[in-house]
Structure 1
Amino acid sequence: MPVPLAPYPPPPPYTPPPNGAQSQVVCSGCRNLLLYPVGATSVCCAVCNAVTTVPPPEMAQLVCGGCHTLLMFIRGATNVQCSCCHTVNLALEANQVAHVNCGNCEMLLRYQYGARSVKCAICSFVTSVGTSTITTSEQKFST
């Protein structure tokens, strides 16, 4: 005689992200463009029922300005808080500028993100820079 199985509780209802953010992916079956909520790991196509895996978000790295711990974050973030020392770090991308004081005359210098060094226009001293030395605000280049 078969033993009756107790019913499993239904899965919790889907709740979209609070800001309603969505992203897009191409269906692996019919190649239609599918919309899905940010954070989903897969999406089922309503046309062909194919399940398409959502690629993980692109990651970036920076060195914390407070404790020098290597931090990973989702590319596109503007600020990253360190889980060790709780310092809020600026996450600069291409076409942004940062500031550093000249290593010789202390003049405030502005340079494009990604540069390895910057030459002072006053004293011609070359100051090495990196993401760990960025402590001031950022500005977008106007195009």
Structure 2
Amino acid sequence: METKKFPIVVNSFHYDLLQKGDQPSQDVQVAMRKVQPTDERLKGTEKDGAFFEIMVPFDVTVEDNGFKVSGSISRVVQTLGYEGEASELPPDELEKLSRPLVEYIETLTYQVTAVALNEGVSLNFQASGEPESK
């Protein structure tokens, strides 16, 4: 599917140092909803394809590293030649559209922990599994 992608927006990103023994958890959600463009320069381009906002709220406690990250990242995409609903998109297309946002969470976490802990922690989220920490 051909798409026009707009910039990724970090709505919030929060890092917390935790106490030893906190239970690891992973809550990374992907939601997608149809939106109307608000930018005047995009008015009238709806005929080329539907606009969707992809939202990825997350709340992850990393095992053995004593920290938690949470927040929300989003992006607007236009699916060129597609006018259907988000729920009608094949799962592999949703994964392709959302993967860059999940990678942003991984990158932000690595960069923040490199500064906060003097060692970057890599998160490797899988579509249907737990994150792996390195």
Same fold (TM over 0.5): no
Higher relative contact order (CA 8 A, sep 6+): 2
Whichever structure has more helix as a proportion of its residues is: 2
Determine which structure has more spread, i.e. the larger CA radius of gyration. Answer: 1
TM-score by length of 1: 0.29
TM-score of the two chains, using structure 2 as the length reference: 0.30
